[in-house]
Amino acid sequence: MHFSPSALPVLVIVGGTDETYRGYCWESAAAEHDLVVVDAAPPAGLVGDLVVDHEIADPRDADAVVAAGLALAARHEIGGVLTWDEYALVPAATLTERLGLRGNSVEAVLACRDKGTTRRLLDEAGVPSARSVRVQSAHEAAQAAAAIGYPVVLKPASHAASIGVIKAAHPEALRAAWEFANAGAGEQGPEGYGVLVEEYLDGPEVSVECMTLAGESVALAVTRKEVAFAPFFEEVGHTVERDDPLLPLVAPVARQALAALGVTDGISHVEMRVTKNGPRIIEVNARIGGDWIGRLVCRATGLDLPGIAASVAADMTPDLMPTHHGAAAVRLLYPKASGTLTERRLDALRASNSGEGRLREWGWLRDAGDRVALPPNGSLDEARIGYLITSGPTLTDAVTARDAAEAALVLQVEPEPAQ
């Protein structure tokens, strides 16, 4: 097979071909790079249109990814390796090391993927975090919770998207919490094992979106998170504003965490809670945040996170100068109860009429007739119905526009019969 040479640097993208959540990442990366992909199936749709070559391999299997990457390297001069898929981080780092390219070491990515290792390294470096104990049985979980003190959080050691994460407010809630978290741990990545019982951190939850190049980290934006459906931690909304007043407070802690874990390159998504005693780390993800956070950052600041990530992977100096001064918000649409979605529609004209703020993007994730299931019976993919993205000159404008868009929604769910 022969391919014509291109003036654009070639990047290998490992996995991450979900167009719903990651389509904008592909579009940004393709603006300055030729893209080749390693994934479990041939690329199709938007992604397929942006890809110049591919190899089929399980993106979570490091050996398979390396073999596929070497095959692509035989046909192209590869300038970098990149993924925005949490579960493909270790295989992508393994391929990066094999090709001798810029990127995080396998050791650093493993430290991020296994939250138990994250806690240990943060503690050793003096970075404020949460007390945490790895357990492998309900009995061990009860002992750890008693030692830490209620409330506690149980979570799989190496999962993502809040899968298996639950709060236990008192000893009577621990058994059910253990069963939920342990079920999630049965499906987690191989980089970690068991369930973590952790100190519950109270206070606003945020993430700091960072860029690291050659070990030097810069905090680019703060994402404020809105969480619902306690005792679970489903994220139902995010907001980003340029020059968030929290940035000077949380940025140093985010940089300290990245350094402690050995993160040297790329975009990272550093989650923390701002407690009464200051910011404390929840976890560190060595990739772009999910749920359209990158889109919000771009609309609020003009900074293109996937484009920056692609530049770093290709050993190019990214442009970190903000070009916009505003704010953006997203509402992730959930049903009020589990059941069958019978109707979903949006009066787009009414939704877009909200003063200085505007409805910028929206879409559906579920169709009428689909079952929608909230936790503990359903996952994120089974619960979300759609999303609304708004922006405006100020955070108040963006949130007001989001409220107006929500008011223009019609969501009807026929509840499931009581058990």
Q: Are strands 166-168 and 78-82 parallel, antiparallel or unpaired?
A: unpaired
Domains identified in the chain, total number: 4
Whether residue 194 sits in one domain with residue 256 = no
The length of the chain in residues reads: 419
The model carries a pTM of 0.95
Whether residue 209 sits in one domain with residue 317 = yes
Distance CA 416, CA 273 (A): 35
Q: In the chain, pLDDT over 70 holds for what percent of residues?
A: 97
**Does residue 241 belong to any structural domain of this protein?**
yes
Whether residue 318 sits in one domain with residue 334 = no
Between helix 138-148 and helix 174-185 the angle, nearest 10°, is: 120
Q: Cα–Cα–Cα angle for 34, 37, 42, nearest 5°?
A: 120
Burial 1-10 (b: 16+ CB within 10 A, else e): eeeeeeeebb
Q: What is the pLDDT of residues 12-33, one digit of tens each?
A: 999 999 999 999 999 999 999 9
- pLDDT at position 4 over 50: no
Whether residue 208 sits in one domain with residue 178 = no
Report pLDDT for 380: 80
Which residue, 101, 120, 151, sits at the end of a domain?
101
Distance CA 156, CA 163 (A): 8
**Does residue 233 belong to any structural domain of this protein?**
yes
Q: Cα–Cα–Cα angle for 403, 405, 408, nearest 5°?
A: 115
Scan for tokens 């167009």, then name that residue: 19
Query: 360: domain range?
Result: 327-419
Which residue, 140, 173, 199, sits at the end of a domain?
199
Whether residue 281 sits in one domain with residue 244 = yes
Whether residue 335 sits in one domain with residue 220 = no
Whether residue 319 sits in one domain with residue 213 = yes
Q: What is the pLDDT of residues 184-212, one digit of tens each?
A: 998 888 999 999 999 999 999 999 999 99
For position 269, which CATH number holds?
A: 3.30.470.20
Whether residue 232 sits in one domain with residue 215 = yes
Q: What is the pLDDT of residues 109-167, one digit of tens each?
A: 999 999 999 999 999 999 999 999 999 999 999 999 999 999 999 999 999 888 999 99
Average pLDDT over residues 366-388: 92
Q: Three-state SS for 211?
A: strand
Q: Can you read off the two tokens belonging to residue 159?
A: 């999962």
- pLDDT at position 1 over 70: no
Which of 350, 342, 298, 348 is CA-nearest to residue 323? 298
For position 82, which CATH number holds?
A: 3.40.50.20
Which of 232, 222, 233, 198 is CA-nearest to residue 119? 198
Average pLDDT over residues 357-380: 92
Whether residue 298 sits in one domain with residue 217 = yes
Distance CA 229, CA 376 (A): 10
Average pLDDT over residues 372-398: 93
Whether residue 358 sits in one domain with residue 269 = no
Q: What is the pLDDT of residues 312-366, one digit of tens each?
A: 999 999 999 999 999 999 999 999 999 999 999 998 777 776 678 999 999 999 9
Which of 130, 300, 152, 296 is CA-nearest to residue 226? 296
**Does residue 57 belong to any structural domain of this protein?**
yes
Computed over its alpha carbons, how large is the radius of gyration of the chain? Answer: 21
Whether residue 339 sits in one domain with residue 407 = yes
Whether residue 264 sits in one domain with residue 357 = no
